Amino acid sequence: MDMELTHEQRREFLKSYNDLRNTIQTIWECQDLWMSDVRKLEHLQNLMEVTMKFVPKFDDKGDRLYYHDWVLADTDDEQL
């Protein structure tokens, strides 16, 4: 199933995705939710990552920066 999204819509999803990633990290650090809820949040994160083609940034050596905000896979535009 193909969906048509504007670049601005994808950027909004990217912002929400990065917020979600940060929330999940906090939940893991505090352990203040049911683990089944965490699993659901992680599933949503993965679904958004794959569907919207979000990828981690790379440093100057080519290593992925997993703990930084992610970016769109098909553009060099990193501004939110």
- In a domain? residue 59: yes
Q: What is the pLDDT of residue 10?
A: 85
Residues 6+ apart with CB under 8 A from 52: 5, 10, 13, 14, 17, 72
What DSSP element (H or E) covers 22?
helix 7-30
Tokens 């999803």 locate to 13
Mind listing the pLDDT tens digit for each residue in 25-73? 888 888 877 788 788 888 888 888 888 889 999 999 999 998 899 998 8
pTM (two decimals): 0.62
> Helices (H) and strands (E) in the chain — how many of each?
2, 4
- In a domain? residue 2: no
Domain count, the chain: 1
Question: What is the domain extent for residue 66?
Answer: 7-72
Confidence of residue 1 (pLDDT cuts 50, 70, 90): very low
Burial of 47 (0-12, 13-18, 19+ CB in 10 A): exposed
